[in-house]
Amino acid sequence: MLLRYAWRNISRHPTRSALTTFAVIVSVAMLLVGHAMIEGLRAHVVSEFAKQTGDVRLRHPDYEKESRFDPLEYNIDAFGALHDRLMGVSGVRQVLGRIQFRVMVQYTDESTIVPESAGIPEDKLTDEQIFGRKVVEFAPAIGFEPAPEREVSRLQDRIVDGRYFSDDAENEVILGSDLARRLGIKSGVDVQIVSYRKGVSDIGAQVVGVVDYGNRFANRLAHLPLKTSAKLLEMPDEVTDVLVLGPGLDAAGALKKRLVDSGHVSTLEVKAWSEIGMARLVSTIFSVVLTILLFFIVAVAGVNLLNTMMMTVLERQKEIGVLLALGMKRLSVVKVFVLEALAFGVVGCIAGAAIGSAVARYLHENGIKLGEGTTRKMFVPVSDTVHAIPTVTGLFFAVGVGLAVAFLGALGPAIRASRVHPIEAMRNK
C-alpha cells in the first residue's frame, strides 16, 4: 500500500520528478566516470614512477641525505655478486643496477670552421673558426643496463630520433629532447661526456637516439650504458641504485620483507616503491582530488533532492494531516517519503550507472588528452593521454553514494512531515 501511495505521489509532478531523477543520473554518471579517470591517472603516474624505483629499491643507507646532489661516495659495492644472491630470493623476477650522476655534454659544431682553401691568415681567424664552436650543457645522467631495462623503462617507446642502444652498447648515449635541442644536435653526432668523481674524466660517445618523455625534467637527462658510466666514473662493479622487480607493485611489501629476511640487504636501505616520498605524495593528491570530486557531486544531487522533498512536504501538509487523523502511523509517513526518494535514487542510479559505464569504457579505449603543456610540468614523466580504468569498486561506489544521497536527502523532510499535527495540517490551505 505504501509503495502504491509513494508511486502515485511521484506521478503527480512528472516534470519535477524527472528533473530530480536526472540530477541523480548525472551525479552517479559523473562520479563513476570521475572515479575511473582518477584511477587511470593514478595508475599511469604510479607505473611511471615505479619505472624509476622498481618494486623495491636498494641504496646505501647514507645516500638519501645527499640524494639531491647525486652523490657518488655512497655506492653499493660488488653489484655482480649481490645481483646473483638477490636473484635467488623467492619472488624476485629481475635485479637492475643504475648509476645516477652529473655530466657535462660537449659538442663541437664544425660548421663554423673556415677551410684553408678560403685563404684567410690564421691570425685573423677566431678559435671558433679554427677549431669549431664549442657547445656545452650540464645535465643529470643515468647509467643502466640496456638489455634488461628495455622491458622496464620502455625508453625505446619514447625515442623520436635515432634508435635504442645496440646489443653491445658502449660509448653510446641517448639524450633527452630538451638537452639535444639546447646542444643543437640530432642522432648520429659525436659528443664528449665529461664527469667528475676522483678527478675530471671524459669519454667520447655517439648520440644514437633522442628521447621525448613529454616532461621537461626527464627531457634533460643523458642516458648511458652502465659499463660506459662505470668506465667514465671509475666505478667497476659499483652502482648507486639497485631496483628489484617481483610479481607486481601490489606485492612490493611482501617482496621487501623476503629481501630483508634473506639477510642479503642488511647493510642497505630497503624501500618498497610506496614508501618513497613521491609515491606517498601521489597517493595523497589523488585521495584529496577524489574527496573534492565526491563532495561537489554529492552536494549537487543532495541539494536538488532535498529541495524536491521539502516542496513535496509543504504541498502535502493537509493530506498528511488527514492521513494521520485516519490513523496512519508517523513511521509510515516517514517510510512514504523515503520510498519516494529511493525511487528517484534507484532509477537514477541504474540509468547513471549505464551512462557512466559507457562513457568510462569509451575513455578507457580512447583516453583523454591532458595537453602537453600540463604533463611537461609534472614531477614524473607521464603521457599527455590518460586512459580511464573502470572498476567494479568504482561502480559500487557511485551507486552506493547515489542511494545514500537519496536516502539522506529525504530523511530530514520525511521526519518533518511525520511531526505535523493533524488538526493544524488540515486547517492549512
pLDDT of 353: 92
Does the global pTM surpass 0.75? Answer: no
SS3 sequence, 382-399? CCCEECCCCCHHHHHHHH
pLDDT digit string, tens, across residues 169-181: 788 999 999 999 9
Give the pLDDT confidence of 297-320 residue by residue, as tens digits: 677 766 766 676 666 666 666 666
In-domain check, residue 254: no
Specify whether 285 is located in the same domain as 421.
yes
User: What integer pLDDT is reported at residue 371 of this predicted model?
Assistant: 62
pLDDT digits (tens, 9 = 90+) for 117-161: 777 887 777 777 777 788 999 999 999 999 999 888 889 989 999
Q: Are residues 43 and 61 in the same domain?
A: no
C-alpha grid cell, residue 288: 584529496
Residues 368 and 386 both lie in one domain? yes
The pLDDT of residue 420: 67
Tell me: the pLDDT tens digits for 261-291?
999 999 999 999 888 876 667 667 767 876 7
Residues 30 and 67 in one domain: no
Does residue 100 sit in the same domain as residue 60?
A: yes
Q: Which domain, by its residues, includes 413?
A: 2-48+280-427
pLDDT, average across residues 397-401: 85
Q: How many angstroms separate the CA atoms of 141 and 126, rounded?
A: 32
CA distance 143 to 161: 20
Yes or no: say if 316 and 38 are a contact pair by the CB < 8 Å rule: no
| Structural domain contains residue 269 | no
Domain boundary among 245, 264, 291: 245
Place of cell 572515479: 35
Q: Which of 197, 220, 245 is the endpoint of a domain?
A: 245
